[in-house]
Amino acid sequence: MPNVDHTATASYASSGFSNRMSWGSRPALLLIDVCCAYWTPGSPLDCSSNPAAVAALPSMRRLLAAARQAGIPVVWTAIRYKKDMSDAGLFWLKSKNLDVWKEGDERGFDAWVEGLVPDDGRGDRETVVWKKMPSGFFGTELAEVLRERGVDTVVCCGVSTSGCVRATALDAMQSGFRPMVSAPVFLYELRKSLGKFGIRIGDADIV
């Protein structure tokens, strides 16, 4: 298990937290909101000056290649809003940078990243689920997609440890899927982050 250091690690472990769910037998790869907004200068969400963000891209490409070679399902989440952002709810009040995903935005920040693009040729083994909130499960068909494919474990990777990755991992667990969050593909938080620590304590396994 990757080392996720935090001053409270021992205290939580002694209280019965931080146990391992461990792998099931039917995994899927879940890529969460991987788009140009996070790696394009000028984007309000650009984090390309962060070495961890840059390193995340080849890690995700390797995971994707391995999943496709093994023939396991791949599911992508992506965000889309109406032009007036009327379907973004209270999330829009909190985060005005969400307009990078509004319909018709000409900046192109919502585009897929080179080498991380859904493959329509894989049929039902590769699916895009559109969402509007941090969790890939909230208000979407993601749980149904996974169940239809017989999935019991989701390998989560993507953008924003304490935001969309954690929200999706938590909902995966609550929906009966074993969430395995890939340590090399975290963005924003550093190794000792509260984001990773919180995920490990009660939401998912970090692998």
Catalytic residue at 164? Answer: yes
Of 35, 156, 157, 164, which residue is the catalytic one? 164
Q: Is the dihedral of CA 95, 181, 174, 195 positive or negative?
A: negative
Give the number of other Cβ atoms within 10 Å of residue 197's Cβ. Answer: 21
Residue whose token pair is 């998912």: 204
Would you give the DSSP letter of residue 47? -
CA distance 193 to 6: 8
User: Strand order in 126-131's β-sheet?
Assistant: 126-131, 74-79, 27-32, 153-158, 178-181, 205-206
- Residues with active-site annotation: 164
